[in-house]
C-alpha cells in the first residue's frame, strides 16, 4: 500500500545517494527503485556523468539498469522510482519505456523537468503512462542542489583576478577588449557612430595613457584562470569616493556572478584606501545594467546630460553604493 510515510522513507534513501554524488563532485541527484509488493529496493543510482564521462550516466538510468538486471528483464512494472530531482527528457523517456508503475520526485526542475514542469513526457497520448507525484521532500532535495551550486559558484568566483594594466601590450589588449565588448553590447542603446567615437575617446591606448597619467585612473583586465573575462577601470577621488568608470564583461561570460565578484574586489580596494562609497554613471536606456546595479545595492543619486563632443551626448543616471 502506497503511503506518504513510504514515500518519505524511500526518498530519504535517494537523498543519501544524492549526497554521495556531491562528495564525488557530481551534481547531487540520487534515485532508488522499489518493488511495491515487498518494499525491497531493487535498483540504486546516483549521478555519475562526470566521473564516467557519459551523458547517459544519470541517477535514473543507473537505477533502471540495476533494477532490470535484478529482475532479469526490462519490464519494471510493479515498481516505483524515487528520485531527488524531476527527471529530464532522457530519463522521463526511460521511465516510460521501462514500464515503471510510478515515479516520485523531490525538487522541481522548471527549465528541464519533463514530468510536468517544462514538458510532460509521462503523459504523451498513445504511450504507456506511469503515475507521477512531485514535490516529496522538495525542500531537502532543493537544498542539496543549492548548496552544491553555491559552493561551485564560490570556488569559481574565487578565481577571478584583476590584472592591473601597466605595459603597452596590456593597454593595447585592453583597448581591443573594449572595442569588442562595446560593439557587441551597445548597438541596442546608441548608434555605431557614437560607439566608435566613445571607444576611441575613452578606451583607446591614448585615452588610457592620458587618464592614468593626469587623472589617476587605474585599468584592470578581468581574468579567470588565465582567461580574459572583460575589463574594468576605477578612479579614487578626493571626496572619499571611488568612481567606477567601467566594468564590462564578455557576452558569453555574463550571468555567472563575475561582475559581482569584481565589485567585491573594488570594495576591498575602498576599504584599503579608506574610501566610503562607489559611484558610477549608467545610460538611462541601459535597463539591464540599471537592474544589476540596483540588485548590488546601488541607489540613484541624480542624472545628467554630458556633451562629449562631435554632436554626441551621454544621457546618464548617477548611482552610488555607500560602504
- DSSP lists the bridge partners of residue 193 as none
CA 223 to CA 231: how far, in whole Å? Answer: 8
C-alpha cell at 303: 542624472
**3-state secondary structure (DSSP) of residue 258:** helix
The radius of gyration of the chain's CA atoms, rounded to the nearest angstrom, is 27
**CB count, 10 Å around CB of 210?**
12
Task: Tell me if 158 sits within 8 A of 258, measured CB to CB.
Answer: no
- Per the listing, cell 498513445 goes with 126
Query: Cβ distance 197 to 191 under 8 Å?
Result: no
CB 314 within 8 A of CB 283: yes
3-state SS assignment for residue 54: coil
CB 79 within 8 A of CB 36: yes
Q: Could you give the residue numbers annotated as active site?
A: 60
**Residue 226, CA distances (Å) to 132, 162, 253, 259 in order:** 47, 11, 14, 17
**Are the C-beta atoms of residues 49 and 70 closer than 8 Å to each other?**
no
Q: Name which of 239, 284, 292 is nearest 262 in CA terms.
A: 292
Contact 306, 314 (CB under 8 A): yes
Question: In whole angstroms, what is the distance from residue 13 CA to residue 83 CA?
Answer: 9
Phi, psi at 30, each rounded to 5°: -130, 155
Amino acid at each position: 500500500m502506497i503511503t506518504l510515510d513510504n514515500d518519505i522513507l524511500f526518498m530519504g534513501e535517494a537523498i543519501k545517494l544524492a549526497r554521495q554524488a556531491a562528495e564525488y563532485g557530481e551534481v547531487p541527484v540520487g534515485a532508488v527503485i522499489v518493488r511495491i509488493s515487498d518494499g525491497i529496493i531493487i535498483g540504486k543510482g546516483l549521478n555519475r556523468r562526470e566521473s564516467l564521462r557519459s551523458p547517459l550516466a544519470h541517477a535514473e538510468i543507473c537505477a533502471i539498469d540495476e533494477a532490470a538486471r535484478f529482475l532479469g528483464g526490462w519490464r519494471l512494472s510493479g515498481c516505483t522510482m524515487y528520485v531527488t530531482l524531476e527527471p529530464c527528457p532522457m530519463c522521463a523517456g526511460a521511465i516510460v519505456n521501462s514500464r515503471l508503475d510510478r515515479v516520485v520526485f523531490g525538487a522541481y526542475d522548471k527549465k528541464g523537468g519533463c514530468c510536468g514542469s517544462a514538458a510532460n513526457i509521462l503523459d504523451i497520448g498513445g504511450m504507456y503512462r506511469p503515475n507521477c507525484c512531485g514535490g516529496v521532500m522538495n525542500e531537502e532535495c532543493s537544498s542539496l542542489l543549492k548548496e552544491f551550486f553555491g559552493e561551485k559558484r564560490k570556488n569559481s568566483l574565487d578565481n577571478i583576478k584583476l590584472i592591473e594594466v601597466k605595459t603597452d601590450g596590456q593597454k593595447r589588449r585592453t583597448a581591443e577588449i573594449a572595442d569588442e565588448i562595446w560593439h557587441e553590447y551597445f548597438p541596442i542603446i546608441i548608434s555605431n557612430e557614437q560607439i566608435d567615437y566613445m571607444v576611441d575617446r575613452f578606451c583607446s591606448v591614448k585615452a588610457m595613457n592620458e587618464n592614468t597619467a593626469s587623472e589617476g585612473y587605474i585599468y584592470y583586465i578581468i581574468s579567470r584562470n588565465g582567461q580574459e573575462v572583460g575589463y574594468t577601470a576605477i578612479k579614487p577621488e578626493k571626496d572619499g569616493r571611488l568612481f567606477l568608470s567601467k566594468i564590462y564583461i564578455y557576452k558569453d561570460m555574463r550571468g555567472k556572478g563575475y561582475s559581482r565578484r569584481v565589485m567585491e574586489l573594488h570594495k576591498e580596494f575602498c576599504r584599503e584606501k579608506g574610501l566610503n562609497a562607489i559611484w558610477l554613471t549608467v545610460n538611462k536606456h541601459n535597463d539591464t545594467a540599471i537592474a544589476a546595479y540596483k540588485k548590488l545595492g546601488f541607489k540613484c543619486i541624480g542624472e545628467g546630460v554630458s556633451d562629449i563632443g562631435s554632436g554626441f551626448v551621454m544621457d546618464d543616471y548617477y548611482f552610488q553604493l555607500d560602504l
